Amino acid sequence: MLSVGLAIGIVSACKDSFLSRDPQGQYSPTALKTPSGVEGLLVGAYAMIDGQGLDGQDPWNNDIQSWVFGGIASDDSYKGTDAGDQPEESFIEKWDFQPTNNHIKNKWRGLYKGIARTNDVINTLAEVKEVSDTRRKQIIAEARFLRGLFHFEAKKMWKTIPYIDETIYKLDDLESTKVPNDKDVWPMIEADFKAASEGLPEAQSQVGRPTKWAALAFLAKTYMYQGWNISTGAANVAVLQKAKPILEQIVASGKFSLAPKFEDNFLIATRNNVESIFEIQYAVSSASGDAADAGVGLAHPYIDPWGCCGFYQPSQNLVNAFKTTAAGLPMLDNFNDSDVKNDQGLKYSDPFEPYTGTLDPRLDQTVGRRGILFKDFKIHGSDFIRDQTYAGPYSPKKHISEKAGFGINGWGNLSSNNYRIMRYGMILLWLAECDVELGNLENARKLVNQIRTRAANPAGFVKKAVQGPKSRDDYSVLNEPAANYVIKTYDQAWTDAAVARKAVRFESRLEFAMEGHRFFDLTRWGIAAEVLNAYVAVEANKRVYKKGAVFTKGKNEFFPIPQEAIDRSYKAGAATLTQDPAYK
């Protein structure tokens, strides 16, 4: 495994201009101009992925899993916990995005710190002659992959960003990166991923380092994010035609397949499996949690063994989306007409009759809800929740480790549960999106059915658990499903593009719910205002603090550039960064 924690001290001498504090390090740039020094710098660039590579900053501010920006800003989840905890996230949840919001500021700082480190790798490598040509090529490819990833994450957050490569970045010149954000940076991001795909091997000896396939997958993702007009929702067919052959190449490679069970994508025991194209690697031991998944540390239930902190609670809207028809298909248009029964307002000791309607089994791998075993810890109940009246009765589930991964370090909310940022299921559903827009509706249906067939594997269903008498942790598992799971494939031909489009997008929500993608999906499809305003109109009746929240089309699809970044971009008496006009 590639450990992202080892080189943090080594690379602390790196600067990132106006984007972070002054450097505090023990190693001079000259001391790092060796083969081992370059390798240390590269590992330091990887260290920025997990959100813990920036001193003085909470990792959940710039965590790559994007649960704050991609999750609570969407219809998938609420901020959770209680009203007074991390109030800046409450503004994000209600789309009151401000340039002074610390979460937005720190996301910028973290990403551009990562970009600075990748450029430092490339510039330092150029002065080290003792590196073989083969390894030199791969170091540059890995650095460019990471640089593309950091810029991509920034581009999906902010409408216009500066692109900074090794020709711009100068370690000894604080002014060097003060460049304007007046260009379309998508071509530069594409170029990084293309170069990475040409320089990376098809397989790596260390998990955590990207392969050719990971670079191609992210190149396709850059096209998917340009595949629709954000203002009108119209498909950009020419761009989707660029994505399609790359996605088909990944499928045809035979290197990847869907894991047998849906839950295999969310367990420590099944990290880096056949579905994994690129995972953010986490590690924790009794000695250190520096490389653990601290970015999601707050997003754990409020009951023991976690005891903190109750953030990132799934919405009722999301839970309702997992209802199915008697035929086992999603309720594309009327899923939110009625609620899946919950224990809102009930104490744990109060009797509760569970929902008996038909459900997609992925619900209980995604959401903790009353009466269902939560991983392998205990049966979920109202005692999991800090304040049900504020943020409802549900808990997040996918990112939380099973019991074997708990309690290794001082804070039990840290684990080695990797984040599957790029998996094969995404490739299949992006390809289905392309096929819908290019008129290949039947192929899109077959691709969606691959996803649904895996979800329907009964071996992956959550099993029913019965509370035992000894303690809250005492339970026994029965050999039967925990709920009325009914899921089937689409067996009728798809002939209507609008219906097919809706089905593919709905499938993406079900498959990747609570993984930090939802807000950005709604934005790239150009339907964020329509979906989120309809969402809040209903949710405001359940979560009173949402009353008055409005998603403003043409504005809230992107976040404002942090005021701190603008203030620190001054050069020759003028700011080089320009605020998004929607936020002026």
pLDDT-based confidence at residue 28 (cuts at 50, 70, 90): low
Give the distance from CA 368 to its chain's centroid: 19
pLDDT-based confidence at residue 9 (cuts at 50, 70, 90): very low
SS3 label, residue 380: coil
pLDDT for res 407: 80
pLDDT for res 287: 75
Domains and CATH numbers, the chain: 28-281+554-583 (1.25.40.390), 297-410+440-514 (no CATH)
Phi, psi for 501 (deg, rounded to 5): -60, -45
> Given a cut of 60, is residue 1 above it in pLDDT?
no
Average pLDDT over residues 376-395: 97
pLDDT for res 62: 78
Alpha-carbon distance values, 25 to 7, 8, 13, 328, 528 (Å): 12, 10, 5, 59, 44
pLDDT for res 3: 41
Q: What residue has token string 């494939």?
A: 489
Give the distance from CA 120 to its chain's centroid: 26
β strands within 334-481, DSSP E: 367-368, 373-374, 378-379, 395-396, 419-423, 463-467, 475-481
pLDDT for res 17: 32
Contacts of 498 (CB under 8 A, 6+ apart): none
Average pLDDT over residues 34-53: 90
pLDDT for res 10: 31
Average pLDDT over residues 169-189: 96
pLDDT for res 19: 31
Average pLDDT, whole number, for the chain? Answer: 93
Average pLDDT over residues 463-474: 96
Q: 112-141, pLDDT tens digit by residue?
A: 999 999 999 999 999 999 999 999 999 999
> Given a cut of 80, is residue 166 above it in pLDDT?
yes
Q: 207-263, pLDDT tens digit by residue?
A: 999 999 999 999 999 999 999 999 999 999 999 999 999 999 999 999 999 999 999
pLDDT for res 406: 83
Average pLDDT over residues 441-469: 98
> Given a cut of 70, is residue 438 above it in pLDDT?
yes
SS3 label, residue 548: coil
> Given a cut of 60, is residue 530 above it in pLDDT?
yes
pLDDT-based confidence at residue 338 (cuts at 50, 70, 90): very high
pLDDT for res 2: 52
Average pLDDT over residues 352-358: 96
pLDDT for res 409: 78
Structural element, H or E, at residue 145:
helix 133-157
pLDDT-based confidence at residue 12 (cuts at 50, 70, 90): very low
β strands within 33-166, DSSP E: 77-80
- Better-scored residue on pLDDT, 1 or 579: 579
pLDDT-based confidence at residue 27 (cuts at 50, 70, 90): low
pLDDT for res 55: 67
Region of residue 514 (phi > 0: left; psi between -120 and 50: alpha; otherwise: beta): left
When mean pLDDT is compared across 95-109, 286-300, 448-462, the lowest value belongs to 286-300
Contacts of 171 (CB under 8 A, 6+ apart): 14, 15, 29, 120, 123
Residue 384 exposed, middle or buried by CB count within 10 Å (0-12, 13-18, 19+): buried
| Strands 77-80 vs 367-368: parallel, antiparallel or unpaired | unpaired
pLDDT for res 468: 96
- Type of residue found at 471: S
Q: 566-582, pLDDT tens digit by residue?
A: 999 999 999 999 999 99
pLDDT for res 56: 66
Average pLDDT over residues 444-467: 98
> Quick one: tokens of 573?
């008496």
